[in-house]
Amino acid sequence: MRNLYYIAIEGPIGVGKTSLANLMANELSARLVLEEFDENPFLPDFYKDPERYGFQTQLFFLLQRYRQQQELRQVDMFQKLLVTDYMFVKDRLFASLNLNEKEMQLYDTVANLLERNIIRPDLVIYLQADTDTLMKNILKRGRSMENEITYEYIDALGQVYTEYFFRYQETPLVIINTNNIDFVHNENDLKEVIKYIRQPISGTKFFNPVSAL
């Protein structure tokens, strides 16, 4: 992994991005930067009334993540690897699902200006899971603000992610099917994921692991 400095982990709600980022940072002695979703004051209202609170929610996330991305430029001399549980483009994917046409035009105007100053990851890890698995994970973690999330919303979000990464070519990409593994509770699964990521990667690679006993 000597050629990697910045690894970004992406995927839909409930797929395990933050869990994997935490575990990888611990295993690889990396600097960890997590998205601060719980600081968005509009998010609980958005889940109750997406049409009314979508634009405020997305704009807050956009500006918050931009601030975080600027902080990534501060090099830590003691940690040569950086792991985040999101990409900056994440907000645009959610916005495309949550905003109407006029709101999206205004959002794009702001986002296009900010994206010029974003650091590109050296490697992106896209975690995939089917909608049933995502809903089960969301229910299991029990965040009160997520009680209003519908199966239809998660299914549509999964399609947005799939379409985006189907065309993605900006950096090396690893797509991991997480339906049949549990890297949080199964140490062997985590080791297999990290072992795969340690390989030199160019282009897009697909990893379809099965949980090891």
Question: For the segment 176-186, what is each residue's pLDDT rounded down to a tens digit?
Answer: 999 999 898 89
pLDDT of residue 2: 52
Tell me the domains of the chain and their CATH numbers. 6-168 (3.40.50.300)
pTM tops 0.75, yes or no: yes
pLDDT of residue 3: 61
CA distances from 170 to 63, 86, 167, 202, 204 (A): 22, 15, 9, 11, 10
CA distances from 175 to 125, 160, 207 (A): 6, 15, 6
pLDDT of residue 213: 53
Tokens of 213: 């006993």
- Are 68 and 35 contacting, i.e. CB atoms less than 8 angstroms apart? yes
Question: For the segment 5-36, what is each residue's pLDDT rounded down to a tens digit?
Answer: 899 999 999 999 999 999 999 998 888 999 98
- Are 43 and 145 contacting, i.e. CB atoms less than 8 angstroms apart? yes
Q: In what helix (H) or strand (E) does residue 82 lie, and over which residues does it extend?
A: strand 82-84
Say which residues have a Cβ less than 8 Å from residue 162's Cβ, sequence separation at least 6.
128
pLDDT of residue 146: 82
Instruction: Taking residues 75-91, report their average pLDDT.
Output: 82
Q: What percent of the chain has pLDDT over 70?
A: 94
Tokens of 91: 């907000």
Question: For the segment 157-177, what is each residue's pLDDT rounded down to a tens digit?
Answer: 999 999 999 999 999 999 999
pLDDT of residue 124: 96
